[in-house]
Amino acid sequence: MRTLLCWSLAQPLWSGAQSGGPHYLSRDLTADFDILRNALISGDPGIYRYTSAATLEAALNKTRAQLGRQMDGAEFYRVLAPMIAEIKNGHTQLQWPKGLRENTLATLPILPLGIRMLGDDRVYIFRDLSSAQHDLAGFELLAVNGHSAKWITSKMAKSLSEDGDIPTSRRHDSSGLAFVENLFFLLDQLDPFTFGR
C-alpha cells in the first residue's frame, strides 16, 4: 500500500493538533504541496486510471488555491484529503504521521457510538457506548453538531481514498470507528456533541 505521510514539515506541524497547534505560512504549505504534487504526477504510473488528467489537474489547482492563508497541520490535512481522494486509488492515501493519530484519539473525546452506514447511505447507531442502558442503539442518526448525516457522509466519501467510484467501500470506510474518528480528522467536529436520532 502506498501511503503519503503529510509533507516535509513533519512532526512539528502536528504538535497540538487538537488545539490547533502551530500555524504555518502559506508559502511553506504551498512549497510542501508542490513537492507532493510533483511526486504524485511523476511517481505514480496509474494516477490517471480512474480520474482524467483534466479532472485531477483541476483538483490539484483548486487545492493549491486554498493554501493562501496560514493554517495548522490538521487544517492542511483537511485541505489535501479530498484532492488525494480524487485520484480514486485505495493504495494512495494521506495519513497523519505515525503515532500521532493514536495519540490524538487517546486524548480527544470521541462520539461514544458505533455507527453503520447502510446501502441507502442512511446512518444508524449500531452500538451506544454513552450509557449502561444503550438507549440509542437502533436509532437512525440524523445529524451531528448541526450537520446532517447526509452532509457528513458525503464529505467523508469525498475525502476517503478508494478504488474507482465503488460506493460500498466508501460506506464501509465511513462506518464503525472510522465514522467517529473522521468526525475530527476530516470534518473538525469535536465534543461536546449534539445529534439527532
**Which are the contacts of 177, defined by CB distance < 8 A and separation ≥ 6?**
114
Give the ranges where 16-120 is alpha helix by DSSP (H). Answer: 26-43, 53-65, 73-85, 100-107
All structural domains of the chain? 2-103 (no CATH), 108-196 (2.30.42)
Q: Where residue 15 falls among pLDDT bands split at 50, 70, 90?
A: very low
Q: Locate cell 464501509: which residue?
A: 172
pLDDT at 2: 36
Amino acid at 53: A
Amino acid at 39: A
pLDDT at 133: 83
Q: What's the distance, CA 148 to chain centroid?
A: 17
* Residues above pLDDT 90, as percent of the chain: 35
Q: Which three cell numbers stand for residue 98?
A: 505515525
Rounded to whole angstroms, the Cα distance separating 2 from 19 reads 29
Strands 113-117 and 123-128: antiparallel
Over residues 78-127, the pLDDT tens digits come to 999 999 999 998 888 888 777 777 888 888 888 888 888 887 778 998 88
